[in-house]
Structure 1
């Protein structure tokens, strides 16, 4: 009997044809389907974040048909990897894939989704590389893997494609392109299987809502979290912190929470997580003093444990094989490690009244973070923990405050898919103002929150422009840990800065209701223009070009214009920042009438308008028939259940309705139904005059509304 030669057998097996396999889809909520390819790993983004889906809210969005051709979605296993393929149509545009800083359009991009610091290029290595994308055709896709994923987002063309690119002759065809048409998104998952989710729309915004709601809905901050925050110099003492808080008060600048940087600890990099006895001899008294002044305290930390920490030895069985800055890395995927680690934070910080944390350096950089060859006692791969460590620390630290029945609002350096509901805002060390706005836009496509923080500036104008954008972001923050910058550091713009800070405080009612929409309905409070009804992007600029100078750039391409310097804030506001040196800028308005936020004048409808710069304003426009609730300018956010008087601004010439969210602004009692949505309504009375009404408060429910004044901003001439 002839034996088949082993070498030939191996060659035969290696060259076996690979057949695409249709994924079997299971509806798990209205408009949401789950599918698996191969044998998925037990640890993924969802198992790390453990979100609680808002099924009732998903039911309200209603049922929709599966938005893609199921037969065109395939998953195959080969060489220990899983290869996914999702179809694309001609002209279809994609958004998402996490926190990108330079690009909004993602079709045609090649990405390695890898948690890392942002290195200046949109290549997938970023602080929150969420493997979720949404299409302008009104659907979304989430690849639920805690691995580094290779994504070809419409950048590659298969030989057997039913809709291949046209072969062109570069020698004679002026329309030849170095980026030929691709009809699919392809993802390589380095595992023998993976779970994927598809979200219907019918609009892109509704697909994002479904993604956010499946992942627990957006975080609802305490009211004080929407006020103003200052992060003080890293080596400030207890007395210096109090002096700075007092100076804010004396100068009339608002302040709701102060951030302490590494110097609050006895040792840092690596950390003891214990108060320095010299700089902070009585931390409980400090917290109490600040609370009496209406200010909360936020503490910087990264998770890496110093050998001098009191609990270092207790965690010995739960450390990874490698250190970070000579600090041990606790395997926080393990419940036993979590209990030992976090009980120290509860005792030394949370129980004395600290309001939250800034969680640093859970993202990268490869030179100091644990390497991919590291091992952990849980048995998880180093890359799995890198992809999810930001999720773990967010979830576990937030739980400390939940156990105290008080909300927190903090900062984090890394997140990922599944972390929608965590009360943390992303930040980093990158400092490009324009790119910060692009990141703010992209955050809304991926269930993230991002702040374009202000630190220091070369000129007074730059300082003012940066400050204006933090006022219209999830966290109004000066991060002065190194620069020591104050709002009044540049005297020539001090009054303009103060006016913007007070405007932030006036807008807390609007921001709070916007975040309630995020929590209960999944609508991002800050989002790109492509999600706005009636918005149409500019047409491609020119035809594809080919440089005839092969020595310079033989693959030069025309780029379709992206709108990455204006965005929506809350349900009604279009924000179009100025940058230092700008004397004017263009703003692309969606269809419908739009009005100036500050004076109510009509500015345009579905057109490009030109706006002249002025130091005292950031351009903001309001859609037709909008109501904007404001409170009086004040130095601190309202306290628990505190009543405030409201001014309700009406814009446009149409009747309007607005749902105002109300709860105690502090606790988690709203999760047990202790909240209300009150209807604000403006319509004309029998004499043709505008009249505003507020629905009555519900008996036994929170009521923080005092007197109400109506202001009609766009009265007919």
Structure 2
């Protein structure tokens, strides 16, 4: 599958190969080697389901051949092979690192530990599940076993291996996790560039809507100023109540005209509202004679129409596959269906031994889009290593519970260890469980800071995720975060591009950038959200006494600025934070530049925005290049995209938005730009220039968020915008802990005498450590002490 030019080059360079009668080793990089053994003296040079490119530049390595032993040496590993069948006695590899005194040698066949990868599905899961292995390991090495993977003779033809072989890839990247991920992508293919609309909010519910009720739902969202960009229509779009002789109505392709009398009109209306549409399909039962397209499809495939024989599903058969797209999918796409939710739940067996029908569905649906000049896009379950080529991942029907939710941040971040970066969860959970407004809100907040934000729920009339179904104070916060997600689209789309270019995945575990820090491995639910932000979702219930929820976070060395409040935290260790319902811990690094779309009430476009907000967090120099294209086509492959470089020169106290480079036609000619400096004092002296000329601006300061805002109207994107600070001290490092502790105590559900005693100590003592010592001797709840401590340090 050709996702990018030169992706599919399965034959390695001959100079990288060391070959014997039954063995072959291919040094792909100084940290990656292929290990093959075949009793039949047969080695595979074609692409597999997993591996599509082995044509790496020949790296530097040394080969030592003796009569009884072969050695292959690079700067990162030393392989020993004493010939004969692979075994722990004949093949072992030393990885050159000092992460462990005894775990840096691997003997063939022996188990090894990784930081895990991901899993096929979270269906029916209430809590955590075991994960498959990934390519990252604290011990510095891991293995992908490709021995059983089918062969891709070409994009359309998948066959089983002709003979048994051992075919392994040994990763010796140490704790260079990003380097290992880049080599993995080079080996297995790039992640496609997602269409822009996928990064907004998705509405999904298993519910028997009709045209009128669905339109009323969308109108209500619009009236409440709640943006959505994707409409997920679950299985009731098609006929499900069918005669018993046809079997289950689970599979279907014919619109239910009682619910949707004019599908063309309905889909056009959704598009007119700025929505993109995906339909749910369960293809396992093929096409039965009650379907509208049965007769032409049956004739095409030579099925007896008169006898009403069903057309069996067989994705391995090219003739069926061509008809499957021609009659079932392409007509609906012409009507307005943008992509498909492939809800495969029928096992892993197909007519091709070893070929999972889920993988085949994912592959051929993506390929069908590419063949017609479209970006590949599906919503489907994970089907093994290499599935990152077929986003987006549907993680399945999870149980509504705190246990399920608490597992998802870790599950999402850890999937990056196998290159799978675009998980879409049933945000809020699918079924079972019980009504819990706090859980619904916290899950939604995580969804906003997850790869794909798709609200979902079951067919129960009591279980749905519309904000107005919750208490007013909860609904208000939900709406705020849903709007924020759409504001984030420019930032997310840039990270989408960087993921596609193998530069920087959107979600990364903390240890990716801090591999030698033990604390980075001790905060499994904390992760990086793009290049600029770090997120720690709230996964614990609120403390009823404090009206705040605890979150243990690790802040690496340096200053970290709260994205929402602008408070500057000094890093260098773990700390327990407390957040009310309306907040979650999201931190920006020093120098972070986060471009957002300005929220314009009731205008919910996710196109490249005319009104741009750029949030800048001072402290260090940094650059950020905002990537933009038309958002949907493959024109970017021909250079039709624009990049706008934003630069914070900390020593010069200068922020610059450089002229856009590339194809100006894909972005607005002029933009209204708001630059928000967060975590700063009320700045009084600032010069603003466009191409060196001073321009009038509007500015203002928000003490609540420590944010100074400069607004420039009608900035020409081909010009240079410069903001120069004349104030000496910009960062607001001090924190009004007395006021913060007053607010904490004021809302706490504790005794008034205790509040008075605590507050007296706080206001009468200016030495924070004396305050801490005195409070430590008092008889108070541990959570209360921790919350006060969080305001003092």
TM-score, structure 2 length as denominator? 0.66
Deviation at 1:260, TM superposition (A): 0.9
Q: Are the structure 2 counterparts of residues 317 and 249 from structure 1 closer, same or farther at C-alpha, using a change threshold of 3 Å?
A: same
| SS of aligned partner of 1:385 | coil
How many positions carry a matched residue from both structures?
593
Which structure 2 residue ranges, 5 or more long, are not aligned? 1-19, 62-72, 105-110, 151-160, 241-247, 304-308, 543-548, 681-730, 733-793
- Partner in structure 1 of residue 281 of structure 2: 301
* Alpha-carbon displacement from aligned partner over 1:485-522 (angstroms, at most 9, x marks no partner): 31322123011001101111111111111111100125
Deviation at 1:73, TM superposition (A): 11
- Partner in structure 1 of residue 452 of structure 2: 475
- Do residues 693 (structure 1) and 657 (structure 2) align? yes
- Partner in structure 2 of residue 90 of structure 1: 100
- Partner in structure 1 of residue 673 of structure 2: 708
| SS of aligned partner of 2:657 | strand
| SS of aligned partner of 1:420 | helix
Are the equivalent residues in 2 in contact too, given 1:111–1:123 (CA < 8 A)? no
* Alpha-carbon displacement from aligned partner over 1:241-277 (angstroms, at most 9, x marks no partner): 2221111111111111111111111236441322222
CA distance in 2, matches of 1:411, 1:192: 34
- Partner in structure 1 of residue 765 of structure 2: none
- Partner in structure 1 of residue 257 of structure 2: 277
CA distance in 1, matches of 2:584, 2:373: 37
2:347 to 365, 369, 384: 369
Q: Are the structure 2 counterparts of residues 281 and 517 from structure 1 closer, same or farther at C-alpha, using a change threshold of 3 Å?
A: same
Larger radius of gyration, structure 1 or 2? 2
RMSD: 4.2
Q: Are the structure 2 counterparts of residues 293 and 49 from structure 1 closer, same or farther at C-alpha, using a change threshold of 3 Å?
A: farther
- Partner in structure 1 of residue 113 of structure 2: 107
* Alpha-carbon displacement from aligned partner over 1:543-578 (angstroms, at most 9, x marks no partner): xxxxxxxxxxxxxxxxxx742221111112111111
1:346 to 304, 308, 329: 329
1:438 to 399, 410, 413: 410
Taking the TM superposition and a 5 Å limit, the aligned residue runs for 1:392-541 are: 392-407=360-375, 409-431=377-399, 432-448=404-420, 449-455=422-428, 458-482=435-459, 483-492=463-472, 493-533=474-514, 536-538=517-519
- Partner in structure 2 of residue 286 of structure 1: 266
| SS of aligned partner of 1:467 | helix
Which structure 1 residue ranges, 5 or more long, are not aligned? 1-19, 95-104, 149-188, 319-325, 363-367, 540-560
| SS of aligned partner of 1:207 | helix
Q: Are the structure 2 counterparts of residues 85 and 664 from structure 1 closer, same or farther at C-alpha, using a change threshold of 3 Å?
A: farther
Q: Which moved more, 1:438-447 or 1:477-486?
A: 477-486
CA distance in 1, matches of 2:208, 2:571: 52
- Partner in structure 1 of residue 530 of structure 2: 570
- Do residues 674 (structure 1) and 635 (structure 2) align? no
CA distance in 2, matches of 1:570, 1:517: 9
Deviation at 1:434, TM superposition (A): 0.7
Q: Are the structure 2 counterparts of residues 671 and 200 from structure 1 closer, same or farther at C-alpha, using a change threshold of 3 Å?
A: farther
TM-score, structure 1 length as denominator? 0.73
Deviation at 1:146, TM superposition (A): 4.4
Are the equivalent residues in 2 in contact too, given 1:534–1:606 (CA < 8 A)? no
Deviation at 1:356, TM superposition (A): 1.5
Q: Are the structure 2 counterparts of residues 145 and 491 from structure 1 closer, same or farther at C-alpha, using a change threshold of 3 Å?
A: farther
CA distance in 2, matches of 1:508, 1:112: 26
Q: Are the structure 2 counterparts of residues 238 and 515 from structure 1 closer, same or farther at C-alpha, using a change threshold of 3 Å?
A: same
- Partner in structure 2 of residue 224 of structure 1: 197
| SS of aligned partner of 1:71 | strand
- Partner in structure 1 of residue 177 of structure 2: 204
Q: Which moved more, 1:453-462 or 1:507-516?
A: 453-462
CA distance in 1, matches of 2:526, 2:46: 31
- Partner in structure 2 of residue 141 of structure 1: 143
| SS of aligned partner of 1:445 | helix
* Alpha-carbon displacement from aligned partner over 1:110-169 (angstroms, at most 9, x marks no partner): 999988957679776x7xx4x642223555532224469xxxxxxxxxxxxxxxxxxxxx
* Alpha-carbon displacement from aligned partner over 1:20-64 (angstroms, at most 9, x marks no partner): 9996332456865433222699999963368578x8xx8899999
Are the equivalent residues in 1 in contact too, given 2:388–2:419 (CA < 8 A)? yes
* Alpha-carbon displacement from aligned partner over 1:169-227 (angstroms, at most 9, x marks no partner): xxxxxxxxxxxxxxxxxxxx998213223445461121012212433322321111100
Q: Which moved more, 1:441-450 or 1:688-697?
A: 688-697
Q: Are the structure 2 counterparts of residues 454 and 120 from structure 1 closer, same or farther at C-alpha, using a change threshold of 3 Å?
A: closer
- Partner in structure 2 of residue 25 of structure 1: 25
| SS of aligned partner of 1:349 | helix
Are the equivalent residues in 2 in contact too, given 1:231–1:259 (CA < 8 A)? yes
- Do residues 264 (structure 1) and 237 (structure 2) align? yes
Q: Are the structure 2 counterparts of residues 192 and 77 from structure 1 closer, same or farther at C-alpha, using a change threshold of 3 Å?
A: farther
CA distance in 2, matches of 1:242, 1:528: 40
- Do residues 385 (structure 1) and 355 (structure 2) align? yes
Deviation at 1:90, TM superposition (A): 3.1
